[in-house]
Copies of this chain bind each other. A is one copy, B any other.
Amino acid sequence: MFLYIVDLLGTAIFAVSGVSMAFRLKMDAVGVLVLASVVAIGGGTIRDIVLDVPVFWLTDNNYIWVVIATCILMIVFTKKPTRLPWYILPVSDAFGLAFFAIMGAEKALHYGFSPTVAVLMGTLTGCGGGAIRDVLAGQIPFIFQKEIYASACIMGATVYCLLDYSHLPRFVNVLVGIAVVLAIRLTAIKWQLSLPTFSKD
């Protein structure tokens, strides 16, 4: 139940990021809906297809309704997103990233895959939707840009997988994993931290 709410919350948060991108690209209502869906359920869909487990929103349509409701609320109540403080979007995106990365790793472990696969799946779930969004919008995906993003997923998911060997209750592990991703990502946003890049040619 706790995990389910975290998952729906992450879906709504990521849908917000899709709607914002659609507004910026001046899309119509259907474009808004499609882009929000892609960001909110795209990463998890790829994860489930690769793991060959039932795609999560096929059996539980609540995820779809959360996305649709988010789109309607955003269209009705948003006047000018630029009036919002600038940090709302990256910070909410960081929360979505943290929720999805840990839920992705959790699902892979749950189905008996190795921790290596779980870390990959956490990263894929966290970053996948955003990567498809950027490709559809004709941009080089954000994960390839400089700021620490995928690395936060990798580290948080690794911590979560290590904690899984302990005897702590699962919701504690989930909260710690989420906190790790959030801490790294928010620190990176605040001080604009980046990993060094290679320009060897």
Contacts and interface: CB of A to CB of B under 8 A. Distances in A.
Counting every copy of the chain, the complex holds 3
Contact of A61 (B114, B151, B194): B114
A166 interface: no
Interface residues of A, number: 59
Contact of A200 (B81, B120, B139): B81
Interface string A35-60: 10000000001000111101101100
Contact of A140 (B58, B113, B136, B143): B136
A200 to B, nearest CB: 5
Interface in A3-40: 20, 22-32, 34-35
Interface stretch (A72-80, A97-105, A168-176, A177-185): A72-80
Interface in A142-161: 143-144, 146, 149-151, 154
Contact of A26 (B20, B80, B81, B199): B199
Contacts of A198: 22-23, 26-29, 32, 75
8 contacts: A30-B149, A34-B143, A50-B55, A57-B117, A79-B200, A80-B200, A137-B140, A138-B138
Interface of A: 20, 22-32, 34-35, 45, 49-52, 54-55, 57-58, 61, 64, 75, 78-82, 113-114, 116-117, 120, 131, 135-141, 143-144, 146, 149-151, 154, 194-201
Given A20-B201, A78-B200, 20 more contacts: A23-B200, A23-B201, A25-B140, A27-B144, A28-B146, A28-B195, A28-B197, A29-B198, A30-B143, A31-B150, A35-B144, A51-B55, A52-B54, A61-B116, A79-B200, A81-B200, A135-B135, A135-B136, A136-B140, A138-B138
